[in-house]
């Protein structure tokens, strides 16, 4: 018998004349199997999958191919099915899980209504509500009734994605297409959602097409892998074979670029002596609660509490945490985009000598500090004005600080472009002409235009493909060595910072819970949250799958951490030095 789905020679192009963006893609998939379509952005992995249920964007055209699907009523070619017949399959027999749960759900409709809609449009016989509650329970909502009546924005990110999964599961599908289902989630949430998908696949003998760029996710989920690059299949085969012994050079490069935690190192010592360029202590930031027309204002939000950091000249300190941990607020406070609560000390010692407390700077003093401290932002698409040419972007900081004349500024811009590996001939172009990685290089060049001593990088690589991420990280390290930069590196991803950081601070809910050099933090993690983060990072190795017990122990509320780490009624224990240079927040 044929497999559930056989795709043969799929080709897709934009417009009538353009070159195909997907060409000759073939794969087969049977019930109970998970097939991973792996590739970087632009590889055609999403297009290939969306073509199967007729969700191609309007500009994309099917050029050739067949997709034979064993539908309940007999075999059909999905690519040639008339729209009403395809609609009957969609949602019910073939369903989809999307990447971004917030935007994939309508904010105006209740979760229950959106999940139940699948049943209603397909004429479900029976109680829609009962079935919806059953599915909400199955995907792990602690209180299905409440979830049923909630609006998506009332749920956390992980629960929202569970709602999306419930929507995909409610019609008892045969095939589920999951498009980067966990990319938008925090690592610990990702681990639990991956486990949920695995369980559902097993319990319902689902065929799953998993679209992802993350080889760690692949290793944890897939039975078979298809590696795509520029619309063509590079390599296909069993998951462990492809990951452990990649045949194609592209796959080898991809596997090599995937971030992995360092193998535990023996040395775990105190921080090296040196003069700190930046020492921060007692740093807190409280945002006032919403003011209300009647009644007292909402309680204030403590974004950062009692943060301390010591950055030695020429070194890198990494601040790691999930969304809402306060790590980006720390970046804003150090760059003084925000003013810290009174009582903070942030001593900056420029190379020229002297020292000043930047926490209270204003006016000319603040402007002078900004020359020394620059920031690289997360999203290179949003951080560069689309209306300024690269030349204007790079010379603007020089103009603001009145450095050089017009010709000198232009020469400096050209030199910066060359320095970050781009051609000075492209200075006249606008940001949209560059790829994500190139844009981030431009953003870094802009940050370096003023020759700062201190560089704050807020998730500089999380919007980039893995191979590009590796390049940008390597470039940052190179620039640091060459220019003697000191860096504060903000990230949600422990494995990314493990290579670049000299010291790691792990944050949760505004507080540092563990601090040490990478060898300490990775080799001898003590705090349950750090352990959860490490356990939750998927590795491209089928032998080392996610350990959900460790994740569950540390990813919860700080009050739920085991003694001596747990907070008691919101009161956090202090940081304790358990080994030279290795600090953990625990009751002594």
**Residues at the site binding another protein, with contacts judged by CB under 8 A:** 53, 55, 57, 87-92, 95-96, 98-100, 103-110, 114, 117-118, 121-122, 151, 153-154, 164, 167, 290, 292-294
CB of 176 to another protein, least distance (A): 11
Contact (CB, 8 A) for 425 and 404: no
Nearer to another protein, 2 or 290 (CB): 290
Nearer to another protein, 294 or 387 (CB): 294
CB of 547 to another protein, least distance (A): 32
CB of 129 to another protein, least distance (A): 17
d(CA 238, CA 38): 13
d(CA 545, CA 130): 35
Nearer to another protein, 170 or 225 (CB): 170
CB of 571 to another protein, least distance (A): 27
Nearer to another protein, 119 or 258 (CB): 119
Nearer to another protein, 87 or 260 (CB): 87
Contact (CB, 8 A) for 106 and 127: no
The CB density around residue 477, as the number of other CB atoms within 10 Å, is 15
CB of 423 to another protein, least distance (A): 34
Which helix (H) or strand (E) element contains residue 368?
A: helix 363-372
CA distances from 293 to 34, 298, 351 (A): 53, 11, 50
Nearer to another protein, 208 or 470 (CB): 208
d(CA 534, CA 525): 9
DSSP sequence for 75-98: EEEGGG--HHHHHHHBTTTEEEE-
CB of 105 to another protein, least distance (A): 6
Contact (CB, 8 A) for 62 and 39: no
Burial of 388 (0-12, 13-18, 19+ CB in 10 A): middle
CB of 91 to another protein, least distance (A): 4
d(CA 334, CA 452): 14
CB of 113 to another protein, least distance (A): 10
DSSP sequence for 297-315: PPPPEEEEEEEEEEEETT-
d(CA 429, CA 178): 37
Can you say how many angstroms the Cα of residue 147 is from the centroid of all Cα atoms in its chain? Answer: 26
Nearer to another protein, 161 or 391 (CB): 161
Nearer to another protein, 53 or 228 (CB): 53
Nearer to another protein, 84 or 570 (CB): 84
Task: Give first-to-last CA distance, the chain, whole Å.
Answer: 65
Q: Nearest-5° angle of CA 430, CA 373, CA 400?
A: 55
CB of 178 to another protein, least distance (A): 12
């Amino acid at each position: 018998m044929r497999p559930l789905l056989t795709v043969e020679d799929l080709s897709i192009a934009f417009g009538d004349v353009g070159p195909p963006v997907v060409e000759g893609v073939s794969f087969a998939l049977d019930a109970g199997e998970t097939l991973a379509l792996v590739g970087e952005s632009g590889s055609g992995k999403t297009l290939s999958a969306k073509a199967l249920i007729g969700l191609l964007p309007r500009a994309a055209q099917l050029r050739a191919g067949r997709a034979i699907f064993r539908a309940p009523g007999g075999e059909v070619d999905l690519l040639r099915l008339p729209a009403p017949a395809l609609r009957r399959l969609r949602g019910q027999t073939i369903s989809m899980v999307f990447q971004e749960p917030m935007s994939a759900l309508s904010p105006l409709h209740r979760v229950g209504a959106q999940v139940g809609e699948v049943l209603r449009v397909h004429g479900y016989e029976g109680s829609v509500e009962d079935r919806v509650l059953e599915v909400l329970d199955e995907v792990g909502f602690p209180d299905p009734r409440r979830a049923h009546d909630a609006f998506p924005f009332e749920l956390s990110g992980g629960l929202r994605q569970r709602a999306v999964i419930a929507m995909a599961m409610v019609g008892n599908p045969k095939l589920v297409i999951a498009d980067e289902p966990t990319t938008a989630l925090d690592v610990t949430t990702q681990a639990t959602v991956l486990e949920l998908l695995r369980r559902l696949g097993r319990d319902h003998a689902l065929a799953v097409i998993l679209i992802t760029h993350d080889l760690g996710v692949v290793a944890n989920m897939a039975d078979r892998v298809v590696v795509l690059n520029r619309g063509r299949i590079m390599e296909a085969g069993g998951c462990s074979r492809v990951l452990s012994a990649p045949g194609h050079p592209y796959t080898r490069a991809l596997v090599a670029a995937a971030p992995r935690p360092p193998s535990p190192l023996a040395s775990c010592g105190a921080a090296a002596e040196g003069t700190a360029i930046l020492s921060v202590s007692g740093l807190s930031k409280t945002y006032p609660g919403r003011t209300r027309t009647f009644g007292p204002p909402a309680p204030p939000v403590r974004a950062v509490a009692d943060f301390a950091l010591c950055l030695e000249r020429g070194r890198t300190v990494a601040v790691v945490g999930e969304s809402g941990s306060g790590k980006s607020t720390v970046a804003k406070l150090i760059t003084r985009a925000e003013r810290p609560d009174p009582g903070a000390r942030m001593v900056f010692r420029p190379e020229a000598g002297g020292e000043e407390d930047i926490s209270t700077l204003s006016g000319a003093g603040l402007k002078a500090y900004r020359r020394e401290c620059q920031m690289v932002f997360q999203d290179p698409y949003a951080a560069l004005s689309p209306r300024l040419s690269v030349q204007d972007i790079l010379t603007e900081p020089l103009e603001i600080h009145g450095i050089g004349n017009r010709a000198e500024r232009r020469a400096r811009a050209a030199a910066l472009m060359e320095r970050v590996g781009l051609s000075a001939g492209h200075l006249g172009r606008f940001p949209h002409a560059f790829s994500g990685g190139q844009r981030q290089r431009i953003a870094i060049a802009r940050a370096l235009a003023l020759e700062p001593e201190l560089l704050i990088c807020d998730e500089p690589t999380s919007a980039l493909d893995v191979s590009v991420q590796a390049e940008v990280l390597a470039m940052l390290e190179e620039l640091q060595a060459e220019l003697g930069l000191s860096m504060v590196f903000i990230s949600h991803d422990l494995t990314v910072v493990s290579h670049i950081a000299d010291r790691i601070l792990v944050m949760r809910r505004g507080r540092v819970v563990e601090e040490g050099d990478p060898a300490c933090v990775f080799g001898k993690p003590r705090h349950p949250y750090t352990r959860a983060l490490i356990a939750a990072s998927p590795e491209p190795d089928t032998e080392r799958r996610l350990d959900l017990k460790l994740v569950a122990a540390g990813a919860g509320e700080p009050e739920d951490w085991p003694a001596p780490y747990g907070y008691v009624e919101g009161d956090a224990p202090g940081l304790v030095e358990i080994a030279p240079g290795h600090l953990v927040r625990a009751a002594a």
